Structure 1
Amino acid sequence: MGLTPFTVAAPMPAPSVEQAWLQLVQARVDASLTELLELPDESRLDIRWTQALGHVREYVSRPTWRVRPALLLAGYCLARGSASVPAGLWRFAAGLELLHACMAIHDDTAEQSVLRRGGLTLHHQLAPGATGQHLSVVVGDHLFARAMETLLGSELPGATQASQYYLKLCRYSAVGRYVELQRGGACLSAGGVLQAWRLARLRMVREGLAPALVCGAMLAGADAELRLRLARVGCHVGLAYELREELLGLFGEARVGVRAPRCDFLRGRRTFPVVAAWSRALPEARRELETLWSLPTERRDEPALGRMRRLVEESGGRSATEHLVTRATHGAVRALAELPNPNGLRELVQALIGQLAQRIV
């Protein structure tokens, strides 16, 4: 099994090292994804499927940081104490991206989203209306099967165990997704904060940042103690990421003339900042928050969104969430300090987390 050497140059400033790592991972994983989606055995099955696969390849190859594969590789190298990885690890990393693409396609369909990574969501590309949504669910199922083929066929000693670990967490995240779609997120009630916290943790798992770090270590044969420490790091990072995403989902800027595709209020998605604001608000503000959330979808316009933002800001929902983001980030740094540091690889993991922090500020 061939090894691909990584060189982590100590004299280089930290940002240059992790950005070079991200660029290398992105290039190698994108190449693996291209290869995995060629599928010559399907090329003559049906011309319509061939056209659909063209849309799938474009969807999967859209520009992104490939943070999950980067953390997978970092976890592997940290556990091995070496910056060289087997060729099969690139396929495993690409398999994780296919699995994430499957979940993203299903999420886009369930939420009837329009945009994903700067382009139209897959169901809008495949066909108009309900037909496109139905087709995209089938394509997501196909990608799930391809991801399983890839993960288990990576020819890595710990591939089965690592895949089982990742899939178990996917099951947990599906539970959170079910509750969120059924209820629109956490309730505006006395127990809503705890519920919103639990849902944020389940959404964190869905992003796959913590599982990727642990899977990398598992594939390297790490012992239970190191896997636990890496899980602690990953959970802190993942939670900080998810809570910041929820802030962006409420306070992120909308495109001119277009509803922001990720705006949680316009989508009827009650997240931690809103529930935290309700729990801290005075009675009058609570009633107004409840009134805004009871509006039908067609009446959740920009003025209503602006008022929701002001209420969340004034009632302390934003500051409470930002405090938790900071606390989780500091928790990741403390947990990282407990890890071994062979060949400066711990600093690389910390720098990757720093890149994530810049992404979510």
Structure 2
Amino acid sequence: MDGDVDVAAEIQRALSGFLDRQEGRLAALGPELAEQVQAARDATSGGKRLRPAFCYWGFRAAGGDRSLPILTAAASLEMLHVSALVHDDVMDSSDVRRGAPSAHRRFEALQRERGEKSGYGGDPVGFGVGAAILLGDLCLIWADELLHTSGFDAAALARAEQFFDAVRVEVTAGQYLDLVAQASGQSDMDLALRVLRYKSATYTIERPLHVGAALAGGDANLISALSGYGLPLGEAFQLRDDLLGVFGDPAVTGKPAGDDLREGKRTVLIAYAVDRASEAQLTEFDRLFGRPDLDDDEIQLLREILQDCRAVQACEDLITNRTEDALDALDRAPLADDATRKALTDLAVAATARDV
């Protein structure tokens, strides 16, 4: 909330209005496309709205006012996020997202239901994967359209484009690094940190701040100062996310407990464990980690190993250090006003001290 501006509500309004227009546009191509629009509506409802919030406050940091264009432009970061989530769920074969079926499972179920009615459904699994990939592609295209139709003039958009282009490249590159890490079967701290930075940290906080500041005409000094705050905070955010992926309550996170352990996610947490575990712990960990059929008792055993070898504590310490680095940088940053500084301080807490 910013005075009389409810940022999250305005982001939802911008997304809903944009998808209303897309629905009319795609209806001309055929009624079947309504399924894609509805899936996009559901995927863009709820969530933490962190990326749009950081974009908005990056804009305010550079002296921008509470104008409607920035709220619409900030919504483009949420649409980009949905695109990444849909593609990520396909690659990870995830069944659940935010407490509901992931996009590819949603389309799979839709096609299976059609098959039951018609007597022929083809391959529901293949249909679900293909439809979800296309949904992710649409959301990526729509993210660009949202930014460019937000109401900013050509000069402002040109300033922001370099950062918007960068975030799309970085998150895609980070996703590939994640695939490489998983396929390697090894836990390498350097690679885990690079995945952390490019798959999440830059695209969650640093680049949204840059996009917002650039739209308001922020100079190079401010952009650099926002990096000093945004990059370590983005890393702390993802470290917390990795801990929640192992220890989070499914009723709160909206994801099954221990999914990251079943998928064999080669995170910083796991790199710490490999480095610190005893030989006996490591033998047991290697036997279980990455097995898709892990039961609750086996997941609990892996959690205990992560706790006992102090990998969890190492992550908690790194979260604390990175957050302190971010707040120190924020104290020195040449922001437009104290309200922005307070909002970014509050966002730092929201991003790192969370259970969802």
TM-score (norm 2): 0.86
Is the counterpart of residue 224 in structure 1 residue 234 in structure 2?
Answer: no
Q: Cα–Cα, structure 1 residues 148 and 261, in superposed 2: closer, same or farther, change >3 Å?
A: farther
Structure 1 residue identity aligned to 2:273? A
Kept in 2, the 8 Å contact 1:196–1:272? The answer is: yes
Distance 1:22 1:352 in 2: 18
Is the counterpart of residue 297 in structure 1 residue 292 in structure 2?
Answer: yes
Deviates more, 1:268-277 or 1:318-327: 268-277
Q: Cα–Cα, structure 1 residues 48 and 209, in superposed 2: closer, same or farther, change >3 Å?
A: same
The aligned counterpart of 1:10 is none
Kept in 2, the 8 Å contact 1:243–1:325? The answer is: yes
The aligned counterpart of 2:50 is 67
Deviates more, 1:227-236 or 1:333-342: 333-342
Is the counterpart of residue 102 in structure 1 residue 102 in structure 2?
Answer: no
Structure 2 residue identity aligned to 1:44? A
Structure 1 residue identity aligned to 2:300? G
Kept in 1, the 8 Å contact 2:206–2:230? The answer is: yes
Displacement of 1:48: 1.0
Kept in 1, the 8 Å contact 2:236–2:319? The answer is: yes
Where structure 2 has 5 or more consecutive residues not aligned to the other structure, the ranges are 110-124
- 2:195 partner SS: helix
The aligned counterpart of 1:16 is none
Structure 1 residue identity aligned to 2:330? L
Q: Cα–Cα, structure 1 residues 207 and 342, in superposed 2: closer, same or farther, change >3 Å?
A: closer
- 1:277 partner SS: helix
Distance 2:80 2:330 in 1: 27
Is the counterpart of residue 358 in structure 1 residue 348 in structure 2?
Answer: no
Following superposition of structure 1 onto structure 2, how do residues 162-241 of structure 1 map, counting pairs within 5 Å? 162-184=160-182, 188=186, 192-205=188-201, 207-241=203-237
Kept in 2, the 8 Å contact 1:152–1:163? The answer is: no
Structure 2 residue identity aligned to 1:325? I
Q: Deviations over 1:169-213 (max 9, x none)?
A: 332232221232244177546xx1222222211222465222111
Distance 1:259 1:302 in 2: 14
Distance 1:237 1:37 in 2: 31
Q: Deviations over 1:252-278 (max 9, x none)?
A: 23469x981662101221211121011
The aligned counterpart of 2:19 is 37
Distance 1:127 1:317 in 2: 38
- 1:340 partner SS: coil
Is the counterpart of residue 54 in structure 1 residue 38 in structure 2?
Answer: yes
- 1:37 partner SS: helix
Query: Could you say which structure has the higher helix fraction?
Result: 2
Distance 2:194 2:337 in 1: 37
Displacement of 1:232: 1.3
Kept in 2, the 8 Å contact 1:79–1:217? The answer is: yes
The aligned counterpart of 2:121 is none
The aligned counterpart of 1:14 is none
- 2:263 partner SS: coil
Kept in 2, the 8 Å contact 1:151–1:163? The answer is: no
Distance 2:192 2:175 in 1: 12
Following superposition of structure 1 onto structure 2, how do residues 210-359 of structure 1 map, counting pairs within 5 Å? 210-254=206-250, 260=256, 263-293=259-289, 296-298=291-293, 300-344=294-338, 345-359=340-354
| Identical-residue share of aligned pairs (%) | 26
TM-score (norm 1): 0.85
Displacement of 1:59: 2.0
Kept in 2, the 8 Å contact 1:251–1:309? The answer is: yes
Q: Deviations over 1:113-146 (max 9, x none)?
A: 2222222222222234221111111111112112
Kept in 2, the 8 Å contact 1:56–1:122? The answer is: no
Kept in 2, the 8 Å contact 1:21–1:70? The answer is: no
Q: Cα–Cα, structure 1 residues 245 and 22, in superposed 2: closer, same or farther, change >3 Å?
A: farther
Q: Cα–Cα, structure 1 residues 21 and 328, in superposed 2: closer, same or farther, change >3 Å?
A: farther
Kept in 1, the 8 Å contact 2:104–2:132? The answer is: yes
Distance 1:113 1:181 in 2: 15
Distance 1:235 1:261 in 2: 28
Kept in 1, the 8 Å contact 2:222–2:335? The answer is: no
The number of equivalent residue pairs is: 335
Q: Cα–Cα, structure 1 residues 174 and 52, in superposed 2: closer, same or farther, change >3 Å?
A: closer
Where structure 1 has 5 or more consecutive residues not aligned to the other structure, the ranges are 1-18
Structure 2 residue identity aligned to 1:34? S
Kept in 2, the 8 Å contact 1:158–1:218? The answer is: yes
Displacement of 1:69: 1.3
Structure 2 residue identity aligned to 1:204? S
